[in-house]
Structure 1
Amino acid sequence: MRARTFLPAVLAAALLTVTGCGSDGGTDSGGDAQAAPPKASSSAPSGEGEGEGEGDGADKAQVPEALNFTGTTVDGRPFDAKTLAGKPTVLWFWAPWCPKCRAQAAETAKVAADHQGNANVLGVAGLDKNAAMKDFVSQTGTDNFTHLSDESGEVWKRFGVTEQSRYVILDKDGKTVYEGVLPGGEGLAGKVAGLTG
């Protein structure tokens, strides 16, 4: 009986070792990013992303430390940021009651639609309850891309975000290339276009 449990444990340990080695290569790229310490934990188990093709890039690309987090979408689905690996990524930190965030919504949704398949856009909602977050997404027409419900603020802390209406833009290697406010989303399209070629 003991041999039966020992062998699967050894195999699992070997798989974890091989898998861990494969993802360490991306750490150097993300390590220089202007993000909070990468050891921040998430509030939800890992799972699949919402988009159908999102996992394809993660399988081929090494996952940088910046994208080593999980969460839950405003629709209650598990989300694993590893699905964003290999493409430039816009993280849009917003709050449902924020007028500046509401003003950024249309441009952010347009950028997500225009760059679908070439870049990722991920909304990270915080500073309120999930019901308000869902209402914001519905009211602003930003349902064409994924939004995390970060009620606990774990993803905000991970990227050192202390106020709403903020963008963090990562290049395809997970390095932060821009962090700040873009009133009305002005300039977002150009920044993303510069990363997608």
Structure 2
Amino acid sequence: MRARTVLPATVAAALLALTGCGSSSSDAADDAGAISPSMASSPTQPPTGSDGSGGTGADESKVPGALDFTATTVDGKPFDAKTLAGRPTVLWFWAPWCPKCKAQAAETAKVAADYQGKANVVGVAGLDTNAAMKGFVSDTAIDSLPHLSDEKGEVWKRFKVTEQSRYVILDKEGTTVFEGVLPGGKGLAEKVAGLIG
């Protein structure tokens, strides 16, 4: 019975060590990183809509299954993903120690500001402690968009994300239209613009 308990933890540790976030410039290295079994998520505060109402005002009966979850932001506020319904949504999965994630921060925040009220941009932090996540948000000055504290990896698992520095982009119906790496966030604005149309 002990082997069953130790083997998954050993495999997870080996994967994390082999796929860590490095500074190589190759596309394969941009995809590096693995989900930690200790990652978590919590309940959440709705993002503010362009009208200041706290969301899109979407009919909850029309909320896509992908957005039927709650979490907690890195600053401890409750977040309900249902408030994202009705608009294109960018979920940016990042880790505080990842240099590639840090390189994506400025462009991701710019896209969030440029498309405020037309599209949602939400950071989903994992693979570390909430204190480290808060430090990353502060150090990169990206507190203008909500960031979920997903220490247990519940949101990461929901979207089948296994590596940091990845984007999952949903159209206004909640269908995933892109999942992958955008080095430095390049191309994110164009992908969002194509969904606003």
Q: TM-score, normalised by structure 1?
A: 0.75
| 1:62 alignment partner in structure 2 | 62
Question: Once structures 1 and 2 are overlaid, which stretch shifts more, 59-68 or 92-101?
Answer: 59-68
Displacement of 1:43: 4.7
Q: Work out whether residues 41 and 148 of structure 2, in 8 Å CA contact, stay in contact via their aligned partners in 1.
A: no
The corresponding residue for 1:99 is: 99
Q: Any idea what SS the aligned residue of 1:71 has?
A: strand
Larger deviation: 52-61 or 185-194?
A: 52-61
CA contact (8 A) 2:41 2:151 kept: no
Amino acid aligned to 2:184? G
Structure 1 contact 166–179 (Cα < 8 Å) conserved: yes
Match of 1:29 in 2: none
Corresponding residue of 2:190: 190
SS where residue 167 of structure 2 aligns? strand
Q: Please, which of 25, 46, 49 is the counterpart of residue 46 of structure 2? A: 49
Q: Provide, for residues 22-70 of structure 1, a one-character-per-residue CA deviation record: whole Å limited to 9, x for no partner.
A: xxxxxxxxxxxxxxxxxxxx8534x541424343333477100000010
Identity of aligned residues (%): 75
The answer to whether the Cα contact below 8 Å between 2:46 and 2:55 also exists between their aligned partners in 1 is yes
In 2 relative to 1, CA 86–183 (structure 1 residues): closer, same or farther, beyond 3 Å? same
User: Which aligned pairs between 1:68-83 and structure 2 lie closer than 5 A?
Assistant: 68-83=68-83
Question: Structure 2: which 5+ runs fail to align?
Answer: 1-39
Q: Is contact 1:87-1:172 (8 Å) kept?
A: yes
In the alignment, what sits opposite 2:32?
A: none
Q: Counterpart in 2 of 1:169? A: 169
Structure 1 or 2: larger helix share?
1
1:136 aligned counterpart, secondary structure: helix
CA 1:176–1:54 in structure 2 vs 1: closer, same or farther (change >3 Å)?
A: farther
Partner of residue 114, structure 2: 114
Runs of 4+ in 1 over 6 A off after TM superposition: none
